[in-house]
Structure 1
Amino acid sequence: MPGSRFYYEIRDGGILARDDEGQVFADGKAAREDAVMLLTEMARSLPGRGKDKNKITARVRDGAGKLIFTATLSLDVEWND
């Protein structure tokens, strides 16, 4: 059974990347799981950036453009002097 096409929008700091081709998933739950995995993979690069404030947001839209899911991952480092 074919699935539905879902589209990602990733904001990494001030950079916005939109997926215009989309990906096919069985349902919105599968698209959500993939987006969360993508965020966790992107999080691996955060420590090497040298910034104390980091935030990555993934938004998933369905084929009609309706926003179905948003997840935000943040890493805030505080120095204790």
Structure 2
Amino acid sequence: MPRYEVTIETDACDGIFACLTRDPRFVEGADGLATIDPDGDPIYDGDGTVTDADGRVVATFDDDRIDDAKRAAAACPTDAILVREVGE
């Protein structure tokens, strides 16, 4: 199963939240911008790690939901989200 990383550049996020409707792991953060919460999705049962530092939210997942994350990234009108495979 591919391991992948989802990055949100918070400086580029403008809070439109198109990503939230594509992948429920994307949620509104306390700052009014998008962030990632693996527990925000009631059907997600994988292991996910999330860091939030230096204007960047980075989450790493090891599951079969990379297409959901890619749809969320494609929906972002400011291109603030990057999804990339980082190994197996």
Q: Whose strand proportion is higher, 1 or 2?
A: 1
Answer 1 or 2: higher relative contact order, Cα 8 Å, separation at least 6.
2
Q: Whose helix proportion is higher, 1 or 2?
A: 1
Q: Taking structure 2 as the reference length, what is the TM-score of the superposition?
A: 0.34
Q: Taking structure 1 as the reference length, what is the TM-score of the superposition?
A: 0.36
